[in-house]
Structure 1
Amino acid sequence: MGRGGADKDREAGAERKCIATGAVWPKAELIRFVVGPDGAIVPDIAGKLPGRGIWVRATRTALDTAVSRKLFARGAKRAVEVAPDLPDQVEALLLARVISLLALSRKAGEAVMGFEKVKSWLVSGEAAVLLQASDGSERGKTKLRPPGGPETYIGWLSAREMGLAFGRDSVIHGALTAGGLTTRVVEEATRLLGVRENDVGSAAAGKDTTSA
């Protein structure tokens, strides 16, 4: 039994049903919530808090739906308190997690910043993921290409947000080498992107269980 009752939730390939879409998704594409001691819904970004998990697809649309339609109470099977800005809270927590993981990658020597260093990693094949600031110069960004196509590219962090991870005021170009930390950065950054954007047709991509 894992700490916080999340032992089964962390199994490889685990899936959960989203209370907003009614579809089943891989756990890595969902946000887990629990009911706190005061009856308030609490985002469990790391998936470690004790209590029964309530799962929502990691998109702004799904989160907004769960809040507006009061679906957390149904998932918790009790009255709960839900902050009206819960989606914004989730976005802020995910951003903080991505920045923290990037900072760990930098300290472990698994991340570099700066055009020339990133270019060198791309040429040598050491780079597994390319990061570029969303508000960076498009002309400058087009000079570097993701090592493995769109799935190895993170381009929705601002220069300031990337700077926080690398200990600078702003960073435009960054790269990650292959490894466990990089996998976690990509997963969390992907969830962040979903929460920052409205999804289109997301329910169709999951396994609909409403008629099962």
Structure 2
Amino acid sequence: MGRAGRKTQTDETTRRCIATGEVQPCTGMFRFVLSPDGVVTPDLAERLPGRGIWVSADRAALDLAIKKKLFSRAAKTQATIPDGLLEMLEQLMVRRLIDLISLARRGGNAICGFEKTKGALISEAALVLLQSKDGSDPQKSKLRPPSGQNTYISCLTASELGLAFGRDYVIHAALVGGGLTKSVKREAARLAGLRGRDAITEAKQPDNPAVKG
């Protein structure tokens, strides 16, 4: 494991989490900076000026960083943690993920609806299966995600997923191409860290049929 800030053999930048002490890829972390008046501020795009403070995209790690006032220790100065920081972070992440899926839809690379999603899975055009976290489990279990890593995303509610498609709600959707797939996977994984790690998984049996039953 390299030191914080170094790149791994896969050329992926890493940072050390202030809560766990572990060095890990930035793709699975949140960056924070202090505003000019010392307020802890999420930097989801990782572009804000100032010294970055990194925390794993994990609810327990974030809770610990707040509880133990680790932001001040990392910044070596007094850091003000705003009330509801994690709720604000979650709202920002939800909006960010919705916007990415919406962009994919406008580019013709995201579809929704059970039959369209089913067809994309059967034809192997689907790269990622998206299902609402509050949808019916028996209904959702009828579809299987494509083989590969992080091909199943279920960290948005039906109403949130619906916003990405201009509908009141969406239960089933899929990404079928385009350059936004990697970004959607990353942001979904980070949001899942806030809402529960079971919301994004790896298909473990590549030979599974796309449609169950």
TM bin (shorter chain)? 0.7 to 0.9
Change (3 A) 1:178 1:158: same
> Displacement, 1:139?
2.1
Distance in 1 (alpha carbons) for counterparts of 2:47 and 2:176: 27
Higher RCO structure, 1 or 2 (CA under 8 Å, sep 6+): 1
Residue 208 of structure 2 corresponds to none
Letter in 2 for 1:161: E
Residue 83 of structure 1 corresponds to 82
Greater helix percent: which structure?
1
| Pairing of 1:135-174 with structure 2 (within 5 A) | 135-148=134-147, 151-174=150-173
> Displacement, 1:189?
0.4
> Displacement, 1:151?
2.5
- Does structure 2 conserve the Cα–Cα contact (< 8 Å) formed by 1:67 and 1:84? no
Letter in 2 for 1:186: K
Residue 104 of structure 2 corresponds to 105
> Displacement, 1:84?
3.3
State the Cα deviation string for residues 81-107 of structure 1 (Å, max 9, x = none).
111321111111111110010110100
TM-score scaled to structure 1, two decimals? 0.85
- Does structure 2 conserve the Cα–Cα contact (< 8 Å) formed by 1:32 and 1:43? yes
Secondary structure of residue in 2 paired with 1:188 = helix
- Does structure 2 conserve the Cα–Cα contact (< 8 Å) formed by 1:130 and 1:152? yes
Letter in 2 for 1:141: K
Letter in 2 for 1:194: G
Q: Give 5+ residue unaligned stretches, structure 2.
A: 1-5, 199-213
Change (3 A) 1:83 1:198: farther
Residue 95 of structure 1 corresponds to 94
Distance in 2 (alpha carbons) for counterparts of 1:198 and 1:119: 25
Residue 50 of structure 1 corresponds to 49
Residue 69 of structure 1 corresponds to 68
Change (3 A) 1:197 1:140: closer
Residue 22 of structure 2 corresponds to 23
Distance in 2 (alpha carbons) for counterparts of 1:109 and 1:179: 8
> Displacement, 1:12?
4.4
> Displacement, 1:198?
7.7
Task: Return structure 1 stretches of 4+ with deviation > 2 angstroms.
Answer: none
> Displacement, 1:134?
1.3
- Does structure 1 conserve the Cα–Cα contact (< 8 Å) formed by 2:104 and 2:178? no
Residue 210 of structure 2 corresponds to none
Residue 133 of structure 1 corresponds to 132
- Does structure 2 conserve the Cα–Cα contact (< 8 Å) formed by 1:60 and 1:198? no
Distance in 2 (alpha carbons) for counterparts of 1:90 and 1:119: 33
Aligned residue pairs total 191
Residue 181 of structure 1 corresponds to 180
Letter in 2 for 1:26: P
TM-score scaled to structure 2, two decimals? 0.85
Distance in 1 (alpha carbons) for counterparts of 2:175 and 2:135: 18
Distance in 2 (alpha carbons) for counterparts of 1:43 and 1:84: 13
